[in-house]
Amino acid sequence: MAKNTQFYINGAWVDPAVANTFDVINPSDEEVCATISLGGQADTDAAVAAAKAAFPSWSQTSKADRLALLKKLLEVYKSRAEEMAQAMSMEMGAPIDMSRANQTGAGSWHLEGFIKAFEGFEFDRDYTATEKTLLEPIGVCALITPWNWPMNQIVLKAVPAIATGCTVVLKPSEIAPLSGLLFAEFMHEAGFPAGVFNMVNGDGVGVGSQLSVHPDVDMVSFTGSSRAGILISKAAADTLKRVSLELGGKGANILFADAGEKAMTYSADRCFRNTGQSCNAPTRLLVERSIYDQAVEVVAQRAKDTHVGPASDEGKHIGPVVSEAQFDKIQGLIQVGIDEGAKLVAGGTGRPDGLNRGYYVKPTVFADVNNQMEIARTEIFGPVLAVIPFDTEEEAIEIANDTPYGLTNYIQTPDDEKRRRVARQLRSGMVETNGQGFAQGSPFGGYKQSGNGREGGLYGLEEFLEVKAVSGWTKA
Ligand code: NAD
């Protein structure tokens, strides 16, 4: 059993080179729930050196050997799923039922998706009758992950990197590091060779930056804020390493007049899910004018009916937001919405009644929002919905695309032609329509300032590969 203050380097749990502890806060009650270490340069160097040393042999292992280890990992993950659900629920406030089903479930679901995609994956491809294209692992990969969907993000990076023959150093979010520690235990239990997977806890300015500039790191795969994505890209530029970015979003959800009331309640629920802390949350609800008043009423009522409570409560509800910093940021942005003249129809500043401790936010709805207002432009990352009216299909598309982000947009209409026509015109990596979730292994990622890579399944595997063309593979 690992100690929370240790790192996993070269197949062993080790103490940090220099002690530097950091308290993990349970957002449901604001109490310290664990203490980790923040690594420094010596720890980063040790982890990168272990990954570099393991790369030559790991990259030459057979696909069958790697598949067997991934299947073993899935077995371990499933057998210890309850530990994982409890860890995430405590560290970032996901309600326990949701943590089991969605937060923990996302990890095993993506792992299964990668196993399926990898089974049929061809590293050697014929280009012409005499020329081969060889896909080869890029090398040592630094994986830097956020706190909002911890296991989703870690699995989406660590599994394809390792499957394709790369070796990795994971730096989980220091705000929610317990799931990452547990995942390192799973990797150890599954039996991956020493150095293939390494994990160092730390913050962005420390281990995060050290990995980004490290000359022996070939690629950084990052999920988090656009702010950090820019800093990492600049830091990585001097060594010209590959940088894959999954960043923020400000998704539009276009509700056409024929969508129906169910689509309205779905739209509110989808925004408040995970307490609004999802990069792909549909936070701008664009409503066709003829149903606007009804939609505002329905989503406002849904917000008022959304129960907020501690993560340990069973049943359907939303938990706190992750930290005091996030709580303060969200409160500030709700106030900005009020000050810039949006109409507050549910929620507002302050905690919900009866909740005095913990980072709880009232599910909030602003109506009559203009797309130029700050609450329509900034990623709030809390349960705050901005409702914007539109008159024509063209106007809806224009508003939806008028954002620096381009992660996920949403469309609600039973009209097949209209849905497809609009989906083609939305500038985003994903368009979710009529509440239909994406299939296992679908490519996840963004256009514009939402990032530049794709995760999951086949596309996710290809992210970690170099492409080599070899002529004369067979005689002409
Ligand atoms: P964050 O950017 O503050 O931190 C993410 C990770 O980056 C953490 O591990 C952090 O320690 C590290 N980090 C911070 N600054 C760094 C730096 N200068 N150099 C290297 N590493 C650094 O983001 P967060 O608050 O943890 O997560 C929320 C953000 O993540 C939101 O903007 C959200 O939209 C985004 N997100 C995107 C996706 C996606 O796939 N597009 C998924 C989940 C979350």
Each residue's pLDDT tens digit, 30-43: 999 999 999 999 99
279 is catalytic: yes
**Tell me, what's the pLDDT at 233?**
98
What does the pLDDT read at residue 24?
98
149 lines ligand 1 (CB under 6 A): yes
Q: Are 453 and 463 in contact (CB under 8 A)?
A: yes
Q: How is residue 338 written in tokens?
A: 């009020």
Average pLDDT for the chain? 98
Mean pLDDT across 13-26 = 98
At 369-395, the pLDDT tens digits run 999 999 999 999 999 999 999 999 999
Among this protein's residues, is 189 annotated catalytic?
no
Q: Name the active-site residue from 141, 166, 174, 246.
A: 246
SS3 183: helix
pLDDT one-digit tens code per residue, 260-275: 999 999 999 999 999 9
145-162 pLDDT per residue, tens: 999 999 999 999 999 999
Inform me whether the pLDDT recorded for 23 exceeds 70.
Answer: yes
- 20 Cα to the center of ligand 1, angstroms: 22
> Which residue, by CA, sits nearest to atom 35 of ligand 1?
224
Determine the pLDDT at residue 1: 53
Q: Is the pLDDT of residue 213 over 60?
A: yes
Is the Cβ atom of 91 under 6 angstroms away from ligand 1? no
Residue nearest to atom 17 of ligand 1 (CA): 204
Distance, in Å, from the CA atom of 388 to the CA atom of 401, rounded to the nearest integer, reads 14
**Phi and psi torsions of 187, nearest 5°:** -60, -40
Query: Which ligand 1 atom sits closest to the C-alpha of 226?
Result: 32
6: left (phi over 0), alpha (psi -120 to 50) or beta: beta
**pLDDT for position 475:** 84
CATH of domain 2-247+451-470: 3.40.605.10
- Please give the average per-residue pLDDT across 328-334, as a whole number: 98
Give CA–CA dist 101/319, Å, rounded. 15
Q: Is the CB of 224 under 6 A from ligand 1?
A: yes
Centre of ligand 1 to C-alpha 98, Å, is: 22
Residues 255-311: pLDDT tens digits?
999 999 999 999 999 999 999 999 999 999 999 999 999 999 999 999 999 999 999
Q: Which two tokens stand for residue 258?
A: 């024929």
Check if 406 has its Cβ closer than 6 Å to any atom of ligand 1.
Answer: no
Residue-wise pLDDT for 88-110, tens only, equals: 999 999 999 999 999 999 999 99
Is the predicted pLDDT of residue 2 greater than 90, yes or no? Answer: no
Q: Is the minimum distance from the CB of 274 to ligand 1 under 6 angstroms?
A: no
For the stretch 396-447, pLDDT in tens is 999 999 999 999 999 999 999 999 999 999 999 999 999 999 999 999 999 9
Question: What DSSP assignment string belongs to 271-290?
Answer: HHGGGG--TT---EEEEEGG
Instruction: Give the closest residue (by CA) to ligand 1 atom 30.
Output: 224
Domains 2-247+451-470 and 252-439 share a fold: no
pLDDT for 476 equals: 75
Q: What residue ranges do the domains of the chain occupy?
A: 2-247+451-470, 252-439
Q: Does domain 252-439 have CATH number 3.40.309.10?
A: yes
Residue 247 clears pLDDT 80, i.e. is over it = yes
Tell me what the mean pLDDT of segment 314-322 comes to.
Answer: 96
Inform me whether the pLDDT recorded for 54 exceeds 70: yes
Mean predicted confidence (pLDDT) in 163-168: 98
Question: Residue 336 in contact with residue 375, Cβ under 8 Å?
Answer: yes
| Ligand 1 mutation target, pool 44, 144, 210, most atoms within 8 A of CB | 144
